C-alpha cells in the first residue's frame, strides 16, 4: 500500500515489510499525540483565557483518575513498541540456518567482497534472490557502515572485530549500497550495488569466475604461508590447539572461562593470541597484527570454519561403511 510513496526506497527484502510496519506505527503514534497535544493547547488557550483582571482560576488538588490514565496508556503504548521492536531486532540479528556466506571488508574507500567459491568483487555484490545471505564483515582501517536501504539493513563495520548482517532479497534487481558512517574524505563515494539475481543466473555468474579456488583454500594457503600449521596440527602433537571441528564449539580457557569459538574469537586469537589462552596450552603464539590483512583474517576464518564442526559423532563417522563408500578426499585430510 505504501510502495508507491516516493519517500520510501523499494522494498526488496523479507525484512523490509516488517521494518516499515513498525516504522509506520511509530510515525502514527507520534503524529496522533503531536496533533492531540497541539490541538488541546490551542483549544485550552481559547477556552480558559482570562477575561477580567479579577479572574483567578480554581485551585487544583490533583486527580488520581487522571494520573492513572496518563500513566497507564503511555506505558501500554511504549510496551507495544518495545515488544514489537525487540521481535524485529531479534529476527534481524539471527540469520536463518543455511544462509549463503559472504565475507566483506570495508576500507577507505571501497567495499570488498569474497565469496566462498573464491570470487572476489569490489563495490558490487552478487547474490541470489529468495535465499538468506549472511555477511561476515571486518574493517581494514576505520568504522564504516554497510547500508542497503532497499533491504532495510544496516550494520557498522568496526576495526578490531567482526560483525555480521543478513538479508534475503525477494526481487531481482540492482540495489544501492552505501557507507553510512563518516569515514573520511571520500566517505560519500564509498557506494556500490547489491545485484540480486534469479538462482539460475546466480549460478551462471558464479561459474564465470574463481580461477584461484575457494575462499577456504585461500585461507589454507595463507595458514601454511604464515606457518600456522607447524603448531596447529590436525593431531594432538602440536604446540597449539587442534583447529579441526573447532568452529562453533565451546572452548575451555586457561582461566576456567568457557567461550564459544565464533568469528570474533578466531579473529582475536590471530591478532591478540595472549588475551584468551586455551586451557592446557602455553601462551607461545606470536601476534599476527600487521602480518595479515583483514581480508586475510576473513580467509583464515573461512578456512577454520571449513574444518568443522564435523557432522555427527566423529569416531562413528570415521568407521561407518557408508562413509567409506564415498570417494574419500585425497589422503582423507587435505593438509
Q: Note the residues at the interface with ligand CUA (CB under 6 A).
A: 106, 109, 144, 179, 181-183, 187, 190
DSSP string, 244-262: TT-TTSEEEBTTS-EEE--
Q: Nearest distance from residue 47's CB to ligand CUA, in Å?
A: 53
- Based on CB atoms, which residue is closest to ligand CUA, 89 or 182? 182
Q: Nearest distance from residue 41's CB to ligand CUA, in Å?
A: 42
Task: List residues bridging with 138 in a β-sheet.
Answer: 105
d(CA 228, CA 299): 14
Coil, helix or strand for 6?
Answer: coil
Contact of 193 with 176, CB cutoff 8 Å: yes
Q: Nearest distance from residue 267's CB to ligand CUA, in Å?
A: 20
Record the cell numbers describing residue 67, joined without a space: 494520573
Q: Nearest distance from residue 105's CB to ligand CUA, in Å?
A: 11
- Based on CB atoms, which residue is closest to ligand CUA, 180 or 243? 180
- Based on CB atoms, which residue is closest to ligand CUA, 14 or 163? 163
Q: Which of 192, 18, 203 is nearest to 129 (CA)?
A: 203
Please report, for residues 19, 43, 104, 260, the alpha-carbon distance to residue 58 in angstroms, rounded to integers and kept in the order given.
48, 18, 67, 66
- Based on CB atoms, which residue is closest to ligand CUA, 144 or 232? 144
Q: How many residues can be counted in the chain? A: 335
Q: What interhelical angle do 215-225 and 294-306 show, nearest 10?
A: 110
- Based on CB atoms, which residue is closest to ligand CUA, 186 or 249? 186
Task: List residues bridging with 122 in a β-sheet.
Answer: 112
- Based on CB atoms, which residue is closest to ligand CUA, 9 or 159? 159
Residue 162, phi then psi, degrees to nearest 5: -110, 130
- Based on CB atoms, which residue is closest to ligand CUA, 185 or 258? 185
Q: Nearest distance from residue 110's CB to ligand CUA, in Å?
A: 9
Interacting residues of 89 by C-beta distance below 8 A, sequence separation 6+:
none
Q: Nearest distance from residue 147's CB to ligand CUA, in Å?
A: 9
Q: Nearest distance from residue 139's CB to ligand CUA, in Å?
A: 8
d(CA 105, CA 27): 35
Record the cell numbers describing residue 292, joined without a space: 595479515
- Based on CB atoms, which residue is closest to ligand CUA, 133 or 183? 183
Task: List residues bridging with 98 in a β-sheet.
Answer: none
Q: Nearest distance from residue 190's CB to ligand CUA, in Å?
A: 4
Amino acid at each position: 500500500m505504501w510502495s508507491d510513496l516516493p519517500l520510501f526506497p523499494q522494498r526488496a527484502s523479507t525484512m523490509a515489510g516488517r521494518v516499515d510496519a513498525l516504522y509506520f506505527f511509530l510515525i502514527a503514534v507520534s503524529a496522533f499525540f503531536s496533533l492531540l497535544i497541539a490541538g488541546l493547547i490551542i483549544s485550552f488557550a481559547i477556552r480558559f483565557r482570562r477575561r477580567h483582571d479579577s479572574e483567578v482560576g480554581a485551585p487544583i488538588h490533583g486527580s488520581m483518575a487522571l494520573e492513572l490514565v496518563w500513566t497507564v496508556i503511555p506505558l501500554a503504548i511504549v510496551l507495544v513498541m518495545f515488544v514489537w521492536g525487540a521481535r524485529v531486532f531479534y529476527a534481524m540479528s539471527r540469520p536463518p540456518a543455511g544462509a549463503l556466506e559472504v565475507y566483506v571488508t570495508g576500507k577507505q574507500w571501497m567495499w570488498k567482497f569474497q565469496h566462498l567459491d573464491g570470487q572476489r568483487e569490489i563495490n558490487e555484490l552478487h547474490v541470489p534472490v529468495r535465499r538468506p545471505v549472511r555477511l561476515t564483515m571486518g574493517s581494514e582501517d576505520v568504522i564504516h557502515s554497510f547500508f542497503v536501504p532497499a533491504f532495510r539493513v544496516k550494520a557498522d563495520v568496526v576495526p578490531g572485530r567482526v560483525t555480521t548482517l543478513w538479508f534475503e532479497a525477494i526481487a531481482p534487481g540492482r540495489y544501492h549500497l552505501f557507507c553510512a558512517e563518516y569515514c573520511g574524505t571520500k566517505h560519500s563515494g564509498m557506494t556500490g550495488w547489491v545485484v540480486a539475481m534469479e538462482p539460475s543466473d546466480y549460478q551462471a555468474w558464479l561459474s564465470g569466475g574463481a580461477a584461484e579456488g575457494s575462499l577456504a583454500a585461500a585461507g589454507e594457503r595463507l595458514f601454511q604461508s604464515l606457518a600456522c600449521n607447524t603448531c596447529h596440527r590436525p593431531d594432538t602433537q602440536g604446540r597449539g590447539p587442534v583447529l579441526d571441528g573447532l568452529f562453533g564449539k565451546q572452548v575451555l580457557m586457561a582461566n576456567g572461562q568457557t567461550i564459544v569459538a565464533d568469528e570474533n574469537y578466531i579473529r582475536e586469537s590471530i591478532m591478540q593470541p595472549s588475551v584468551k589462552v586455551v586451557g592446557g596450552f602455553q601462551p607461545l603464539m606470536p601476534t599476527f597484527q600487521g602480518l595479515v590483512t583483514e581480508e586475510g583474517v576473513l580467509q583464515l576464518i573461512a578456512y577454520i570454519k571449513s574444518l568443522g564442526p564435523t557432522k555427527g559423532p566423529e569416531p562413528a563417522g570415521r568407521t561407518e561403511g557408508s562413509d567409506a563408500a564415498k570417494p574419500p578426499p585425497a589422503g582423507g585430510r587435505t593438509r
